[in-house]
Structure 1
Amino acid sequence: MLKLSPKFIIMAFDRNTPFNELPNLPPLGFVESPEILRQLAKAARYLGELNGLCASLPDPQILINTIILQESKESSAIENIVTTQDELYKAAAEDGTSNLGAKEVLSYKEALYVGLKRMRDQKNLLLTNTMVELVQTIKQNDAGIRNVPGTALKDAINGEIVYTPPCCEEDVRDKLSALEQFINDPELSTLDPLIKMAFIHYQFEAIHPFADGNGRTGRILNALYLVQQDLLIQPVLYLSSYIVNHKADYYQLLRSVTEKENWNDWIMYMLTALIETTQLTTKKIKAMLSLKSDCETQMKIILGSSFSYELLQLMFTLPYLKIDLIVNKNIAHRQTASAWLKKLTDADILRPQKMGRTTYYINYRLMEILSSNYL
């Protein structure tokens, strides 16, 4: 059970009124329950295993790109931005796309890299201006902090208001400034970073600083925070798939913190998400490494002296290949690329799929690994 100090006061909450009384972090009187401490130890153990695996990768960018693409799709799905695997990976294969869903998904991927670079450029700090740049990259516009009243979150089924975030720009900026300090100043809290991550995620969503893109920005902040805290060497852990599968609980528990100060259940949810996602991500990376090794062995036999390690890398960076992509990457001339893809198709390493006038050659076994939630 959540333990409160005698001075702890639950702020009055009215879902129809801007929640300008949203308290700053850390929550007054919060004490970790025994179940949180048990779950925390488990989460730390699995996260350490994943980080060790990432540190051992000879070329982590090869695998990270594919994992980020899959996360981009899952995170966007939470916001009901839907795109097919085909549209997403066609776009990633430098085709461009008219599909708005695929464009937003790829913008999410771009935003993650932008945030990681910006954090490292700013002495490992996660700042408000980085959050703004994240949402601008996601939305591909010049969006800024909400500066007009009227924002309210509504139930998708009955249209009733479930939460009205703080208003307006000055108050929102004040709350983001306090959140920024909580993220970056270790003296503000001695709490474990994984518990702090749960606090930070709730607080950002409760502030709801942007007109759109808050959910995706908040989920990118999770990954960046884990890197900032040296818990992961690479941003490969994303909770979107877990949230998609437990979406109702996610929103209900966010409301439960706001309305009842129920931090215990929210933190348990986030730690459970970390545990399950970390285990699955570790299994996926191991399966991808095994598949890559098998493919390398087969390709050296099939392609002989023309074997190209750059082609193998591309297969595990962009699972949908086409002749033009190989040519544009300066890996081979068109005739050689065509011959390679035919041989790999005949060996069932890649599978062709005609889309319009273009034939894509799909690393289908990699796609099975990426899309699986039960390895």
Structure 2
Amino acid sequence: MAKTPFTPENLPLTGERINQLMFLRELIEANKKIAQYQVLLQNTKLPSHLLLNPVMLNEAVQSTKIEGTQVTLDEVLEVEAHSRKNNKDIQEVLNYYHALRDGMDNLAVLPISTRLFKAMHVTLMSNGVRGSNRSPGEYRKIQNFIGPEGCTMETATYIPPQPQLVDTYMNNLEIYINNPQDQLDELVRAAIIHAQFETIHPFLNGNGRIGRILIPLYLFSKNVIDYPNFFLSEALERDKHKYYRFLNDTRYKGDWNQWIHFFLEAIILQANKNIQLINDVNRLYEHDLNLAQSLINSSGVKKLIDAIYQKPIFTVQTISSAAEIPEATCRRYLSILESQKIIFSDGKTRSKTYYYYNLLDKLR
């Protein structure tokens, strides 16, 4: 394998690079599944924004897991509920979550661009996490390389382009994102854009995570999805060695069809999981809301249940604030829900933490 910095192709790729017949079935299926997921979200019994917080946190867990950070969704939610001490691994996950949120918010005023990438990168590298001292918010000025821990440039599996060329390649990518001059489907473009971002590797740290955030942001910007809430990290983490291998094959073998085929299969896998999740959560929400309302005769019960869907691990303080219910009233409601095994607690007499396992089991 070459031991010199790689020279990427500019986008759009030349026509002979892509043979859509090789993944046409998967492309049709992926578009169908995403459309089905969007329709479900529009017609869900549970207000779809309620699930966004835990689903985005789970995406943050899965994306950082690809980078080797081993944190569970429960641990992150416990830190959010102020019932667990934070650490640098959990902070990495929270930084990803906030970078994702920043990207979503900034799309209202910014195109997908260098400015957006750099803003997200500052957030991703904040609060003293790994890489926080490696030029946050700036494209790299030195050569980097990728490979197993402890590898050298000689043993690296991939050496990205020379640093002085990063701005040129990122400018080309930005132009392609906002004004593609090809006839490809948007899902195929999303695959190409993600691979090209990872190939350029513009930052010294955090490229994989920013590149994975780019996927839902791009699909949202092109109106493929109604909200940037379709995340691929879980499907990619499941086959992460294949993910890295196929990315490398686009570089050294020019095999884009294999990569796009894999990317579309990941979309189908994730869309099927999302559809199952929404159907399961719809049934759960309706059942547990009706049960809670039969136990507690108050209009505040729906606000409480809705808040629990946003924060399925919580304390009285965090959930009363989210539900806008006085703490004393909230404590009384939670006691009733716990007695009926709708929620469970850690049993502490003070600063008790509650767990809504019915939802957590479906999210994990």
Q: Give yes or no for TM over 0.5.
A: yes
- Match of residue 201 from structure 2: 208
Determine the C-alpha separation between the residues in 2 that align with 1:78 and 1:355.
35
Tell me the alpha carbon deviations over residues 87-145 of structure 1, each in whole angstroms, 9 at most, x when there is no partner: 200122255742212111112111112111212212xx211110111111111166133
Match of 2:146 among 120, 145, 153: 153
- The answer as to whether partners of 1:321 and 1:362 remain within 8 angstroms in 2 is yes
- Match of residue 5 from structure 1: none
Unaligned runs of 5+ in 2: 127-131
How do 1:67-86 and structure 2 match up within 5 A?
67-86=55-74
Determine the C-alpha separation between the residues in 2 that align with 1:290 and 1:151.
49
Residues 96, 132 of structure 1: CA spacing in aligned structure 2 closer, same or farther, 3 A cutoff?
farther
TM-fit CA distance, 1:275: 0.5
> Are 2:233 and 1:240 equivalent residues in the alignment?
yes
> Are 2:173 and 1:185 equivalent residues in the alignment?
no
SS at match of 2:70: coil
SS at match of 1:120: coil
TM-fit CA distance, 1:333: 2.5
- Match of residue 34 from structure 1: 21
Determine the C-alpha separation between the residues in 1 that align with 2:10 and 2:20.
21
Determine the C-alpha separation between the residues in 1 that align with 2:83 and 2:12.
46
- The answer as to whether partners of 2:307 and 2:322 remain within 8 angstroms in 1 is no
Query: 1:180 is aligned with what amino acid?
Result: E
> Are 2:360 and 1:367 equivalent residues in the alignment?
yes
Residues 109, 66 of structure 1: CA spacing in aligned structure 2 closer, same or farther, 3 A cutoff?
same
Determine the C-alpha separation between the residues in 1 that align with 2:100 and 2:140.
25
- The answer as to whether partners of 1:227 and 1:235 remain within 8 angstroms in 2 is yes
TM-fit CA distance, 1:220: 0.5
- Match of residue 137 from structure 1: 123
> Are 2:86 and 1:98 equivalent residues in the alignment?
yes
- The answer as to whether partners of 1:51 and 1:231 remain within 8 angstroms in 2 is no
> Are 2:96 and 1:119 equivalent residues in the alignment?
no
Determine the C-alpha separation between the residues in 2 that align with 1:83 and 1:277.
21
SS at match of 1:230: coil
> Are 2:77 and 1:89 equivalent residues in the alignment?
yes
TM-fit CA distance, 1:354: 5.0
Tell me the alpha carbon deviations over residues 4-32 of structure 1, each in whole angstroms, 9 at most, x when there is no partner: xxxxxxxxxx642122x211112222232
- The answer as to whether partners of 1:116 and 1:224 remain within 8 angstroms in 2 is yes
How do 1:192-341 and structure 2 match up within 5 A?
192-305=185-298, 307-329=300-322, 331-341=324-334
Q: What TM-score do you get using the length of structure 1 for normalisation? A: 0.89
- The answer as to whether partners of 2:308 and 2:319 remain within 8 angstroms in 1 is no
Tell me the alpha carbon deviations over residues 274-324 of structure 1, each in whole angstroms, 9 at most, x when there is no partner: 011011111111211211111110000111236422211111001002111
Determine the C-alpha separation between the residues in 2 that align with 1:25 and 1:356.
61
- The answer as to whether partners of 1:51 and 1:233 remain within 8 angstroms in 2 is yes
Query: 2:3 is aligned with what amino acid?
Result: N
TM-fit CA distance, 1:151: 0.9
Q: What TM-score do you get using the length of structure 2 for normalisation? A: 0.91
Residues 143, 158 of structure 1: CA spacing in aligned structure 2 closer, same or farther, 3 A cutoff?
closer
Determine the C-alpha separation between the residues in 2 that align with 1:95 and 1:119.
33
Match of 1:48 among 28, 35, 47: 35
How do 1:19-30 and structure 2 match up within 5 A?
19=6, 21-28=7-14, 29-30=16-17
TM-fit CA distance, 1:223: 0.6
Unaligned runs of 5+ in 1: 1-13
Determine the C-alpha separation between the residues in 2 that align with 1:126 and 1:148.
22
- The answer as to whether partners of 2:343 and 2:356 remain within 8 angstroms in 1 is yes
SS at match of 1:270: helix
Determine the C-alpha separation between the residues in 2 that align with 1:189 and 1:97.
50
- Match of residue 9 from structure 1: none
Query: 1:223 is aligned with what amino acid?
Result: P
The count of residues paired between Structure 1 and Structure 2 equals 353
- Match of residue 7 from structure 1: none
Farther off after superposition, 43-52 or 57-66: 57-66
- Match of residue 157 from structure 2: 162
- The answer as to whether partners of 1:72 and 1:105 remain within 8 angstroms in 2 is yes
Query: 1:24 is aligned with what amino acid?
Result: N
Determine the C-alpha separation between the residues in 2 that align with 1:167 and 1:54.
44
TM-fit CA distance, 1:56: 2.7
- Match of residue 129 from structure 2: none
